[in-house]
Amino acid sequence: MAGLQPRLPLGYTPISDLDDHVNQIVNVIGNVVDVKPVRSTMTGNFYIGFRITDLINPSGHDLNIKSFKRTPDQLPQSICVGDVVLIRQIQITTFNDKPDCVSKANQFHHQIVVFPAQGIPIPDLADPVLGGGQIPHNRYPDRSQTPTREEQLYAIHLRHSPAGADLVASRPADPPKQPDFSTNIHPRSRQRFRLIEKLKENEFCEVAGEVVKVFATRDGPVELYITDYTEHPFLFDHSPPGDDSHRAAQFDQNADRFGLLSKTDHESKQWRGPVGKLTLQVTLKSPHADYAVHVKIREGDFVYISNLRPKLSPYNYLEGTVWRDMKLPEKLDIRRMHPSQGEDAQLIRNIKTRKKAYRTKMGLDNIFERDANDTKRKAAMPLKKETKREKKAKHKKEAKEAAKAKEAISLAKTSEVSVTDSKESNKKSKMDMTFFI
């Protein structure tokens, strides 16, 4: 094995030659020199970013790869600098005049095979591979083809090339941790909990409320509009249905680029939440925005938000922002509440009680909800089949109305003729009088 010369597997393209394969589907293999952990996108997909190069034939060329999948389990969860990665069926594009690769979740069923550096044997101990054995590896997705003998042998030489060995020796002891949305939730602090009516500018606090609107901005953050049905004098004053005098530009759904708004929201730009100063706009930054997308927080959900900073907007409206914690960057300060869990259940009951009082005070549930329910109820009503008698009566009525319309038109024309004849008669009389004089 030691005397064998490393050869690029059949069907693979050298990273140094990718300039000649733009917009083509290729297979590539190389050493990982940089990696960014799996993240969620605003559309609910997931991606990982990493950069590879060929350290057997160093040429100064490398390839940036962003792989998108619909679920995180289809992406490498523990890829590290120094590992060897092969990617099959990936499309080469360009960015800043350099080869680049962005594989979308709905395009090309590409496969990723990761050979962890610590599991790759030295070339002198690779004889089992020649006999059909497999060195440790992870395939994404799981159904991907197992690596061939040629792919494994090249991976061994990449890992144990002089530059590859130096790369592994220089990497951090602990690989980067992947975000865990199930365990990073920040614990509740009762002392900091506030009703919306009690919020003070720049006083960090925790709030609970019902989501009445979800809005995705272009630059990444997610905006939630929440209410606990208490009123604050500095909140935006949402107008009643049909009154556009206070409609705000920030509720323009044309900017919903990421599909977070429900179909009902797209049908109308009118405010669908409680009227008055009862709703707080909360801007979530990453990773809190990632969580909101990952668990698909929707209108009607109840959420608990920690580490909220109330502040005044440029228009002097009170808003809230939740930033990343610099000391604990993966800590999450938002979660969906569950009506069957202890304190959550009590908080949700309190919100629903205030909501009922609000609706009673307004004299209706919600004009938009009532209209929507009426529409749904009418749509759900079965169509009544007309009987022969009803059809006959209907046709008779239509014929009678048509006859009346025809008669009206005839009378109108007769009236026009009479008026014209009268005008001609008057004109002739005047001419006769002139002649007589």
Q: How many CA atoms lie within 13 A of 13 on its CB side?
A: 23
Question: Are residues 196 and 157 both part of a single domain?
Answer: no
Question: Are residues 164 and 231 both part of a single domain?
Answer: no
Question: Are residues 23 and 96 both part of a single domain?
Answer: yes
Question: Are residues 150 and 244 both part of a single domain?
Answer: no
pLDDT of residue 357: 93
pLDDT of residue 377: 52
Convert the pLDDT of each residue in 176-230 to its tens digit: 444 444 444 444 556 789 999 999 999 999 999 999 999 865 557 899 999 999 9
> The domain spanning residue 313 has which CATH number?
2.40.50.140
Hey, what amino acid is at 217? Answer: T
With a cut of 70, which residues of the chain have pLDDT below it? 1-5, 41-44, 104-108, 170-190, 216-219, 241-270, 364-386, 408-409, 411-437
Question: Are residues 105 and 237 both part of a single domain?
Answer: no
Locate all alpha helices (DSSP H) within 133-231, ordered by sequence.
Answer: 149-160, 162-170
Q: Is 386 within a domain? A: no
pTM metric for this prediction: 0.43
Question: Are residues 257 and 152 both part of a single domain?
Answer: no
Q: Is 246 within a domain? A: yes
Question: Are residues 278 and 165 both part of a single domain?
Answer: no
Convert the pLDDT of each residue in 263-318 to its tens digit: 444 444 567 889 999 999 999 988 888 888 877 889 999 999 999 999 998 889 99
Domain that holds residue 237: 190-378
Q: Is 94 within a domain? A: yes
On the 0-12 / 13-18 / 19+ scale of CB atoms within 10 A, 310 is buried
The percent of residues in the chain predicted with pLDDT above 90, rounded, is 33
Instruction: List all residues 6 or more positions away from 423 whose beta carbon is below 8 Å from its beta carbon.
Output: none
Question: Are residues 156 and 220 both part of a single domain?
Answer: no
Among the three residues 135, 170, 205, which one is the final residue of a domain in this structure? Answer: 170
Among the three residues 378, 399, 430, which one is the final residue of a domain in this structure? Answer: 378
> What is the separation, in whole angstroms, between the first and last Cα of the chain?
136
Q: Is 427 within a domain? A: no
Orientation of helix 162-170 relative to helix 149-160, angle to 10°: 70
Give the residues across from 69 on adjacent strands.
Answer: 46
Among the three residues 104, 135, 170, which one is the final residue of a domain in this structure? Answer: 170
For residue 142, give both structure tokens. 């799981």
Number of domains in the chain: 2
Q: Is 414 within a domain? A: no
Q: Is 393 within a domain? A: no
pLDDT of residue 185: 45
pLDDT of residue 329: 75
Question: Are residues 296 and 196 both part of a single domain?
Answer: yes
